[in-house]
Structure 1
Amino acid sequence: MNIAKQFKSRLASTGCFDAGKTVIVAVSTGVDSMLLLTLMEQLPDSVRPKLVVAHVNHQLRAQSRVEEQFIREYCSKHQIQLAVTRWSVEEHPQTGIEAAARQFRYDFFADVMRKYHAEILLTAHHADDQAETVLMKLVRGGQLSQLEGILPEQPFENGLLIRPLLPFSKQAIRAYAETSHLQWYEDETNQVDDIFRNRIRHQLMPALKQENPAFLKHVQNYSTQLIAALQLANERTVELLTQIRRDDESYSVSLWQGLTAVQKRAVLSMIFQDAELPVTDSYLDETSQLLNNQKKPTAELNLAASKHLEKAYDRFSIKSELKVPPFSQPADRIVVISNQWVQLSRGLQARLVPVKTVNKNAAGHMLLQLQPFEMPLRVRTAQPNDRIKLVGGGHKTIRRILIDHKIPVSKRQQQSVVVTANGEVLWLIGLQRSARDYTEPNYELVLKQSD
């Protein structure tokens, strides 16, 4: 069976093509994409969709102008809709030109799909591309999922990106193109070995094919098996993730610790992926050490993209860098003046009033016995080494109190204290009052939410 018959059979098996649809074909004018376009044109009327050719002139070579003019004339002659764009020379980066060019191309393809309401994009990747990609990833290292290589189809924009030439070798494509007398253009940069892919193509691939003529087929088979195995592993990881997830989008440390070593790593990898973080061995190792460390019930681990992993007793989660709401004025200058409401942080107000009758402390109220030299009171951000007097004597640091109350690390910098003029801490707001003698209170400190 020649390429044309296999191609038609392959497209028929997808069930994605019919005369009522519009399909975008990415065409560079190289032999692969010109064959792809030709094969699409030769489909029977019943399954041949409306074709739109998408061509990008990267303006990286002098020949690019010739190729653009060629595809314009070709599409005009064959009555095919054409969409062309040029990558401005001013936008070419000094480094990473290949990745930037690819990003520009696929952004353009997405725009064309939206413009023509197309649900399918076709590219001309073939079996040699697949093998080259797998070899490059093996050399560079990374996660196992990256060895999937080039997928036969995958979601893209509002539809699918399909690669119908993936089963065919470059040799078979070129032979069929020559037999069919197709016209195409060679990219001379493909012959230069200063590009990693080209060195793989020219130096490794021929030796591997000579070692085993079925090399390309074997890579394709391994890729297919790996895709299936990873899909199964992914489904199981989702189940495990659901089991350890809490209602507040955090995860249970103890339930995670109950997983096997392999399961732990898979779950953490998925959590990182969901948080759009890089999945690296160092991140996985550091996170595992932190979650397994019984001596650190609370801790944080800085990650990429201004995100961090927060461990708070039996919970852990990925969070963005927290922005603590600023005080309306510097924290150490918020002075509580007798009989006046003063605005604090997070929507709180405070007022100090003389008392005539002694009432038991209520929520938001604190009875105080103050001397003139202790005035005025101030409200400021709590510091870890601040100390509060305890019942029966002695003191306890704010840090220890926050740990005892199981306040997460990310929220500790949001705590406020009331201090006297000489710096004695009277109240860790909302958590603990000083046990100094208030048997004859002369003031009441009142906190309330702003109106």
Structure 2
Amino acid sequence: MYQKLFKDVQKRRIFEHHQKVLIAVSGGVDSMNLLHFLYSYRDRLAITISIAHVNHKQRPESDEEEAYLRQWAQDHQVPIFVSYFQGTFSEKAARDFRYRFFEQVMREHGITALTTAHHADDQAETVLMRIIKGSRLRHLAAIKSVQPFAQGEVIRPFLPFSKSDLPSVFHFEDSSNQSSTYFRNRIRNRYIPELATENPQFQTALTRLASESQTLFQAFADLTRDIDGQSCSVFLAQTPAVQELLLQGYLEQFEDLSLSHGQFEDLLQVIRNPQKADYALKEDYVLKKREGRYEIKKISPKTDLLSQDKVLEYGNIATFDDYQISFNQVLSGAELIVEVFSDSPILLRRRQSGDRINFGDFSKKLRRLFIDQKVSKENRQKAIVGEQDGEIIFVLVAGKTYLRKPPKHGIMKGKIYIES
């Protein structure tokens, strides 16, 4: 079987650009097979290997597994790096911890490839999990054989093969794999076997769906490679279907920004609107649309008080300078209450060139407003602007408040409470 795996790896040339390879080893049968395979073929693949292991401290066998791997590494003269999980345990927390550790090891030791033992069964489980959760079609591509990671790539040599294809080697059994507490275990032990009674090739069908989805969106990316999708004029020249897929593709680069279907539709409408915009998203991300282009940026905390921006979501409270500002949470000491007619996040920021506030019968640039009101230059720099859906809804400056004229037929969706 290892010879068959080796021929497949050679055919796909997945290690062609790598010399140092880190192997993620848990101690289970899949990762132990990966360790044995890459150790056996390291010379023919022209790679040096090392082991990364995380002791999650969740089972009595955890220390025994670590001790075995340390001894194996010593006997075979293979470097091993071990870390110990910290924090409140969950599937996601454990996975995030592992991959942060893998990335750290790679950066510190100049390693360009991380290998994991994911196989076709894992792929099928992941696809079904995402279908149940309502993921977008593009995310049914699920696990990829090779994808960027850290300063190199994460490679999954076993992905085209089923778990049953792997030889039986010494390994540790994880009793928690039988627990129904975890979603993946319910998928693996209950849902897939049940659905396989309707279609014995159900698992194969899921992996084929993942492959076709990946091919489809790769084809779309290839065909639109020369389209500048961040140019508003170019974007709007496309059909609505192409616009949607272009925006989906652009969002893929922001791994920690996960928008619901409704939030995505709202974002799409902001881009289609001809007006400039600073539209607050989740996780401190903001869409900025200026001079015919749009881009999404993450607001980073800065030491310069006059530069910081904050996103205030519905039901939350934010501190900005000496102010406590809440969105629909009552502050007993609030000195100002502002009615709002949308539940979209509010961007709290400093004033920008060209800012304008709408007073109903007329609108005025903040620069002219401040001049007319004899606001000093120092206080102008300290002005706080509240923006929602691309429009300024309030300005706090020099102890005064300026409010946007409410929409004529607007329905109040909440209140902003401001306390100094």
- Bucket of the pairwise TM-score, normalised by the shorter protein: 0.5 to 0.7
Partner amino acid, structure 1, of 2:370 = S
Find the counterpart in structure 1 of residue 164 from structure 2. 171
Task: Evaluate the alpha carbon distance shift between residue 128 and residue 382 of structure 1 in structure 2; reply closer, same or farther with a 3 A threshold.
Answer: closer
Find the counterpart in structure 1 of residue 52 from structure 2. 54
Matches within 5 A, 1:34-45: 34-43=32-41, 45=43
Task: Evaluate the alpha carbon distance shift between residue 237 and residue 68 of structure 1 in structure 2; reply closer, same or farther with a 3 A threshold.
Answer: same
Task: Evaluate the alpha carbon distance shift between residue 284 and residue 413 of structure 1 in structure 2; reply closer, same or farther with a 3 A threshold.
Answer: farther
SS of alignment partner, residue 106 of structure 1: helix
| TM-aligned CA deviation for residue 42 of structure 1 | 2.2
Tell me which of 112, 127, 131 is aligned to 1:119. Answer: 112
Partner amino acid, structure 2, of 1:221 = R
Matches within 5 A, 1:284-363: 284-290=264-270, 297=275, 301-309=279-287, 318=296
Find the counterpart in structure 2 of residue 110 from structure 1. 103
Find the counterpart in structure 2 of residue 434 from structure 1. none
Q: In the alignment, does 2:65 pair up with 1:67?
A: yes
Distance in structure 1 (CA, Å) of the matches to 2:368 and 2:294: 19
> Residue 237 of structure 1 contacts residue 266 of structure 1 at CA under 8 Å; is this kept in 2?
no
> Residue 22 of structure 1 contacts residue 117 of structure 1 at CA under 8 Å; is this kept in 2?
yes
| TM-aligned CA deviation for residue 113 of structure 1 | 2.0
Matches within 5 A, 1:409-424: 412=366, 415-419=369-373
Partner amino acid, structure 2, of 1:195 = Y
Q: What percent identity do the matched residue pairs reach?
A: 31
Find the counterpart in structure 1 of residue 260 from structure 2. 280
Task: Evaluate the alpha carbon distance shift between residue 9 and residue 293 of structure 1 in structure 2; reply closer, same or farther with a 3 A threshold.
Answer: closer
Tell me which of 241, 244, 247 is aligned to 2:228. Answer: 241
Q: Deviations over 1:141-180 (max 9, x none)?
A: 122221111111111112221111112222232xx21xxx
> Residue 241 of structure 1 contacts residue 267 of structure 1 at CA under 8 Å; is this kept in 2?
no
Partner amino acid, structure 1, of 2:145 = P
Task: Evaluate the alpha carbon distance shift between residue 75 and residue 236 of structure 1 in structure 2; reply closer, same or farther with a 3 A threshold.
Answer: same
| TM-aligned CA deviation for residue 303 of structure 1 | 2.2
| TM-aligned CA deviation for residue 238 of structure 1 | 4.6
Unaligned runs of 5+ in 2: 309-349, 376-420
Unaligned runs of 5+ in 1: 246-250, 327-344, 347-380, 387-395, 403-411, 422-451
Distance in structure 2 (CA, Å) of the matches to 1:92 and 1:420: 53
| TM-aligned CA deviation for residue 287 of structure 1 | 3.6
Tell me which of 237, 241, 251 is aligned to 1:262. Answer: 241
Q: In the alignment, does 2:178 pair up with 1:191?
A: yes
Find the counterpart in structure 1 of residue 217 from structure 2. 230
Q: Deviations over 1:113-166 (max 9, x none)?
A: 233322221111111111000000000012222111111111111222111111
SS of alignment partner, residue 371 of structure 2: strand
Task: Evaluate the alpha carbon distance shift between residue 37 and residue 420 of structure 1 in structure 2; reply closer, same or farther with a 3 A threshold.
Answer: closer
Q: Deviations over 1:411-435 (max 9, x none)?
A: x4785233589xxxxxxxxxxxxxx
Find the counterpart in structure 2 of residue 219 from structure 1. 206
Task: State the TM-score, normalizing by the size of structure 1.
Answer: 0.63
Larger radius of gyration: 1
Q: Deviations over 1:195-221 (max 9, x none)?
A: 111000111122334444433333333
Task: State the TM-score, normalizing by the size of structure 2.
Answer: 0.67
Partner amino acid, structure 1, of 2:371 = V
Q: Deviations over 1:82-141 (max 9, x none)?
A: 221212xxx3226xx111111111111122223332222111111111100000000001
Q: Deviations over 1:271-291 (max 9, x none)?
A: 544567434321232244455
Total equivalences in the alignment: 326
Task: Evaluate the alpha carbon distance shift between residue 99 and residue 212 of structure 1 in structure 2; reply closer, same or farther with a 3 A threshold.
Answer: same
SS of alignment partner, residue 168 of structure 1: coil
Distance in structure 1 (CA, Å) of the matches to 2:373 and 2:43: 84
**More displaced 10-residue stretch of structure 1: 45-54 or 302-311:** 302-311
Distance in structure 2 (CA, Å) of the matches to 1:65 and 1:21: 31
Matches within 5 A, 1:122-137: 122-137=115-130
Distance in structure 1 (CA, Å) of the matches to 2:289 and 2:175: 54
Q: Deviations over 1:55-89 (max 9, x none)?
A: 110111121011111111222222322221212xx
Distance in structure 2 (CA, Å) of the matches to 1:193 and 1:267: 39
